[in-house]
Structure 1
Amino acid sequence: MTKTILLFSLLIFYQSMSQAQSEDPYLWLEEVNGEKALEFVKQKNEMTINKLTREKAYQKIYDKSLEIYNSNERIAMPAIYDQFVYNFWQDKEHVRGIWRRATKASYLSGNPSWDILIDLDEMSKKDNVKWVFKGAGGLYPKYDRFLVSLSKGGGDATETREFDVNKKAFIEDGFFIPESKGGGSYLDENTLIVSVDFGEGTMTTSGYPRQVKIWKRGTPLKDAQLVMEGDSTDVSAYGYLMRDGENKYLMFGRGITFYTRSNFVRIDSKLIKLSLQDDASINGILNNQLIVELKSDWNVGGNTYKQGSLISLDFKALITGEHRVSVIIQPDEFTSVTSSSTTKTKLLVNLLTNVKSELYIYSFDNGMWTRKKVNAPDFGNIAVNATDDEFSDLYFFSFTNFLAPSTLYVADANDNSMKVYKSLPSFFDASKFKVEQYKAKSTDGTLVPYFVVASKNVKYDGKNPTLLYAYGGFEVPMLPSYSGVIGNAWLENGGVYVLANIRGGGEFGPKWHQDGLKEKRQIVFNDFYAVAEDLISKKITSSKNLGISGGSNGGLLVGVAFTQRPELFNAVVCAVPLLDMKRFNHLLAGASWMGEYGDPDKPEEWKYISKYSPYHNVKQKSKYPEVFFYTSTRDDRVHPAHARKMVARMTEFGYPVYYFENIEGGHAGSSTNDQRAKIAALQFSYLLMKLKG
């Protein structure tokens, strides 16, 4: 009987594969390193490079972009571990980069004396591997050992090695985790908590670990003790150590979908599930107050805590099932919590109000939260870059906007003092430009804000080459930021830059995101079109002079845009995109995003996904703009086949396209400054060619 069932299952499998092959003639492009697929990539790359590098603007843009990326005047962003500040740095001499540290006192002096720990260029040459640094986590409290994550070519999968910072060497016979998504962190000197690929059946359909184990030094990884296991259809499982002063808690999470999870704490070798909403996010702990962000209304203890609120719960009481809740902030419809982080005694909360940042310091006393506003600059984007959460109230934050170069501030959350640490130089003359904020009315009447950066002398005559950028997904807000590359390559060449805050993002809290989920996705695209139409109606530009750009989920956005509304645009930069929405959940990490888009394997959900899937909506004999696609062979998050297959189909239908696939770079698209400069020069040369002539 079992044999019959197995044979029947195999027959169904091969029939479905055969059907897929007949429906999709370009499945062979999903073979990342397939000989035929790489030959396709080589041919398309050569055609694009031969064309775009001959454009008049290319070399100047490349040279200036590389100069900016390699500038020694860039800010060395800090990561604080006890008495040292760590930093990863790339420049002309260190192409693949160096991991280095300086004493905290030396760094705070403004002229740090750096001690190089790992030279990625030397290591890559020695190993004949293009190593990419992916971060490091230290051993509390001395931080004399670190677990260093390294990627081959920039993908998300890393191998983890144990490193002695005093000896500046990897530890022989130290902890070593083979290449895998996931990773490990220290519980103590001789114990790690690990969630990686442990072998057959230990990964989810999304390509992430579903087991969490405790691993003792000197024992094989395969013999690590299993503590928690999720289902294969989950997104992931993970564990981490949460410190609160002298107390420490071993935490576990089971990611059911991209937006829902079960949270556990291990007490006396037992896992206790925390009674929180499955879409709530734990943001840390301070003075026994568990910091939690609500993504939907929560009715508990006779009270309703509103969607988007930041609350805290008495953690020791929560472990026993009690809900002692304190409200930190309940945002209004124009405000949202961007992030929160802790110093030793304070909570830092970064808020957005009408897409402009404000930073607050919160204190918890006598069961109440009180706050003070940080006197940071107004009308821009604030980011908390580093905190000294275990030893002091020292923290660093940065401020930027479209025209103000990023400035790093050093601050003390205890006395609310702050001072400028370092500012970027001006890479272009910002005095010639202005920033304005407008709102466009979408199809349902919702007002969608957007920023316009243009010359002070701009004439609204419909002739300005204009680049519209947006993302519209995963509750990620699009915020003003300074870019020397955009300033030089685009603004200085007469371009207008537009950043749209469409739904799907997090600019106005969870609801702004949830309004565009799954079957409601079309409203995200409609918001984008509303901004484009508003730009045209205001005569800031015209469809002939309007280009759009987006990456990842934003690549899907612009892919939908040019297939649904080709008459609106004359140029499209579609980067590391999702485009085949029938198979996205079968490619790499795609299954994890079904909480955002839906499940195309379910007929009722494919019904609405199929209406916008770019790969399935390319039509013959349409007037599409000449699209520039780019992706990375080493992207192990969004499969390069999305872009490859779209290019193949459009080429089959006779549409001219541009295509560039960087052999390394991962989902970021590039790993070195030279690669970043090359991609910038290619895309801006293309945009100037199409929109300015």
Structure 2
Amino acid sequence: MRIVRTSALCLIALLCSSYGFSGKTIEGRNGISLPEPPPTATDTVVDNLHGVEIADPYRWLEDAKSPQTRAWIDLQIKYTDDYLSQIKNRSQIVDGLTKLQRVDVYSVPREYGGRIFFEKRLADENQSSIYMREGWTSADIRLVDATKLSADQNTSVTINDISSDGKMLVYGVRQGGADEESVHILNVDTRQDLSDSLPSARYFGVALSPDKEGIYYARFTHEGTTIHYHKLGTPIADDPMLFGKEYRGEKLGELELISVGVTDNGRYLMIRISRGVPATREDILVKDLRKPDSEIVPLVYGIEARTSAVNIGDRFFLSTDYNAANKRIVEAKPGESPEQWKIVISEGKDVIDGFNIVGGKLFVRRLHDVKTETSIYSLDGKQIGQITYPGIGSGTDLIGRPEQKTGFYVFQSFILPPTIYRYDTKTGKSDIFFQPKVPFDTSQYEIKQVFYTSKDGTRVPMFIAGKKGLKQDGSAHLLMTGYGGFEIPMLAAWNPEYAWWMEQGGYFAQPNLRGGDEYGEAWHKAAMFEKKQNVFDDWFSAAEYLIQNHYTTPERFAIRGRSNGGLLMGASITQRPDLFGAIWCGYPLLDMLRYQDFLIGRFWTTEYGDADNARDFPYLLKYSPYQNVKPGTKYPAIMFFTGDSDTRVDPLHARKMTARVQAANGGDRPILLHYSLKGGHSSGVSLTQLVDDEADELAFLWNETSAP
């Protein structure tokens, strides 16, 4: 039941008034002074959920297109700009970030038909373009120039598929940070796009047919994902649906995310059905493309497990957590039951984080206390080698094709920019294919790993990085980030923002909270549903460890997180505002009683639960940040960040939370909303825009953790 209580305040009158009417002063650090934030009218809606009345005074801010909301956003942008304009060293921060990011960047190359394809961004460009070489020693040829696709250069491109002979390229075009993209096909020989293209949508796989006469694609709508085949030269509207809606009597709806691909050898169409995000069950189906009338048959079906597959010839190898929480590698045939699978590599104490077949060998990547280790096996499971990495950091899977001699992997850390290595599967030798010339002296910095105890006694690892010899006396600025969810491990990876922070003499810390996949599915499940509080407790315990061991103090403690990490920031705001000096909360989930009703939020009910369910409602209400803002609380400095192009986590969360915290704040620290009209959840904005946004974030965090 829903009851609407409308305040007597006139929304338009309030929104059009100037802010600062009470005379209260907001004090930033280093002499920054602001009036109080723009006033936000309340227009309260009361929901009765399972017998509990829940008041929402800012429900009207959910409507992003209303004139009232747009006027409110404009005032918030001005308020934040007024704050940022007073930070004296912001231009130096822009210069520092520009120096770290204005370098040539390559993606991992892929070889097809003797041609090498990759994405590359030159140091003076804002976007990566798609390139090709006719051979390894040939010159780079630009095929798709992303810098010319839009005037503001907030349009990006990605490689979706390449024909086995290297003559056709399928690529996506994305506007700003949206998840949706349009799909285009390039004739590589003529350098001309075909007339065929797919309109902007959320696609879960686009693949050329082996004969190059069409493309398979999986397109998501809120009615469900469906797989289609587009024959080149025919209207898109005529594309037949090959799969979707139901399979073997099971209905397939919005929560069954279906992806499609074609094996490297062109023999099989591969269909994956992921049930929820993260998936609680992953089915894998195959169709033999050599037999036009063949049926779609199960490779893995009907078991509660997460599984990925790699094909070589007519053989299929699976990485699965079925009866193996840390995963194992098995060989399977279509139609077999799990009991018939052949175990190739048994489950071990370290979780398998990825695998691939290159040069006829299995390359299996594991996490040993969150550090990457890659072992090499024959296809019958005999270990025959390993890849050695240069110190603490994270490596990718070996990327290549089953029949190719050469593969590529990327290694990086908090103090080492991503370096692409070429690996010879015959000799076992690695050499550098590309290393960006980032002006950052790695030798002057160090990474260490510590272990601390969480509230319930769980041992949790954490990386700490900074300059060698940095004093551990509590005087340093410290920046900490975290995530804790969706079985995503937080590895030691390069980020120019963290590098800049360390260059200024600050520490950087990253705890490996429960909810990720650092220690397998058990680590993930320990922070799902009613156990989500474990993530927050791990986070607060990490902060207390760093303070107790004199890395920093609460006043000098900055934290950041985005998406599910934004929810973590929200819990920090409402549960332990005393621990931190400044909080950056990006693209956040904050209203956990309503998140499932917007954009693709319902996907995540398999991780968080659903407030419409009487079983889930109590624990969601207990920690949901938006419902736990308390009037009169002295909050630390906070910057919420979101953008109109976020089509994944609805910006309404940041809008409503900003209004509520500004109204409730009993302290005098700034509560800001940084609202981007271009940015979104996915990457895609121009490098210039990215540097500006990052500079705003770092200027805020550094300034607000400086001495008063």
TM-score calculated relative to the size of structure 1: 0.87
Cα distance in 2 for partners of 1:521, 1:182 equals: 28
Aligned pairs for 1:504-583 (under 5 A) are 504-583=515-594
Q: Secondary structure at the match of 2:426?
A: coil
**Are positions 1:229 and 2:250 aligned together?**
no
**2:4, 2:45 within 8 Å by CA — same for their partners in 1?**
yes
User: Structure 1, unaligned stretches of length 5 or more?
Assistant: 1-11, 107-111, 298-305
Q: Sort the Cα spacing of 1:402 and 1:42 in 2 relative to 1 into closer, same or farther, 3 A.
A: same
**2:488, 2:517 within 8 Å by CA — same for their partners in 1?**
yes
String of CA shifts for 1:312-370, please: whole Å, max 9, x gaps.
Answer: 22325x458872322324220xx2222112224122211111121112222114xx443
Corresponding residue for 2:173? Answer: 150
Cα distance in 2 for partners of 1:329, 1:508 equals: 16
**Are positions 1:163 and 2:163 aligned together?**
no
- Aligned letter for 2:674? F
Cα distance in 2 for partners of 1:669, 1:54 equals: 29
Q: Sort the Cα spacing of 1:665 and 1:346 in 2 relative to 1 into closer, same or farther, 3 A.
A: farther
Deviation (angstroms), 1:496: 1.0
Q: Sort the Cα spacing of 1:394 and 1:690 in 2 relative to 1 into closer, same or farther, 3 A.
A: same
**Pick aligned residue for 2:341 from 319, 324, 328:** 324
- Aligned letter for 2:515? G
**Pick aligned residue for 1:264 from 264, 268, 285:** 285
Corresponding residue for 1:5? Answer: none
**Pick aligned residue for 1:90 from 117, 121, 131:** 121
Percent of residue pairs bearing the same amino acid type:
26
Q: Sort the Cα spacing of 1:26 and 1:79 in 2 relative to 1 into closer, same or farther, 3 A.
A: farther
Corresponding residue for 2:672? Answer: 658
Corresponding residue for 1:372? Answer: 385
Q: Sort the Cα spacing of 1:434 and 1:182 in 2 relative to 1 into closer, same or farther, 3 A.
A: closer
Deviation (angstroms), 1:156: 0.8
String of CA shifts for 1:478-512, please: whole Å, max 9, x gaps.
Answer: 11123344223x11222111111111111111211
Q: Which has the higher helix share?
A: 1
**Pick aligned residue for 2:74 from 39, 42, 59:** 42
Deviation (angstroms), 1:160: 1.2
String of CA shifts for 1:195-240, please: whole Å, max 9, x gaps.
Answer: 225xxxx534xxxx42222333343333333332234644244343
Q: Sort the Cα spacing of 1:239 and 1:522 in 2 relative to 1 into closer, same or farther, 3 A.
A: closer
Q: Sort the Cα spacing of 1:85 and 1:374 in 2 relative to 1 into closer, same or farther, 3 A.
A: same
Q: Secondary structure at the match of 1:560?
A: helix
String of CA shifts for 1:1-38, please: whole Å, max 9, x gaps.
Answer: xxxxxxxxxxx899999755994343333334443323
**Are positions 1:240 and 2:260 aligned together?**
yes
Corresponding residue for 1:480? Answer: 492
**Pick aligned residue for 2:88 from 56, 63, 88:** 56
Cα distance in 1 for partners of 2:699, 2:4 equals: 46
**1:670, 1:676 within 8 Å by CA — same for their partners in 2?**
no
**Pick aligned residue for 2:607 from 579, 590, 596:** 596
Cα distance in 2 for partners of 1:443, 1:523 equals: 8
**Pick aligned residue for 1:184 from 206, 209, 214:** 206
Deviation (angstroms), 1:47: 1.8
- Aligned letter for 1:397? Y
Cα distance in 2 for partners of 1:425, 1:28 equals: 49
**2:227, 2:260 within 8 Å by CA — same for their partners in 1?**
no
Corresponding residue for 2:408? Answer: 396
User: Structure 2, unaligned stretches of length 5 or more?
Assistant: 6-43, 49-53, 246-250
How many residues are aligned here? 648
Q: Secondary structure at the match of 1:527?
A: helix
Cα distance in 2 for partners of 1:233, 1:312 equals: 30
Q: Sort the Cα spacing of 1:195 and 1:455 in 2 relative to 1 into closer, same or farther, 3 A.
A: closer
Deviation (angstroms), 1:585: 0.9
TM-score calculated relative to the size of structure 2: 0.85
**Pick aligned residue for 2:446 from 406, 410, 434:** 434
Cα distance in 1 for partners of 2:600, 2:665 equals: 31
Corresponding residue for 1:422? Answer: 434
Mean CA deviation greater in 453-462 or 517-526: 453-462
Q: Sort the Cα spacing of 1:461 and 1:15 in 2 relative to 1 into closer, same or farther, 3 A.
A: closer
Cα distance in 2 for partners of 1:440, 1:665 equals: 36
Q: Sort the Cα spacing of 1:232 and 1:291 in 2 relative to 1 into closer, same or farther, 3 A.
A: closer
String of CA shifts for 1:606-650, please: whole Å, max 9, x gaps.
Answer: 111111111111110112112111112101111111111111111
Corresponding residue for 1:684? Answer: 698
Cα distance in 2 for partners of 1:376, 1:567 equals: 40
**1:280, 1:292 within 8 Å by CA — same for their partners in 2?**
no
Deviation (angstroms), 1:390: 5.4
Deviation (angstroms), 1:660: 1.0
Mean CA deviation greater in 582-591 or 414-423: 414-423
String of CA shifts for 1:232-284, please: whole Å, max 9, x gaps.
Answer: 64424434344264x62222233332212333223544232334533221231
**Pick aligned residue for 2:306 from 247, 255, 280:** 280
Cα distance in 2 for partners of 1:437, 1:322 equals: 40
Cα distance in 1 for partners of 2:187, 2:77 equals: 42
Corresponding residue for 1:133? Answer: 157
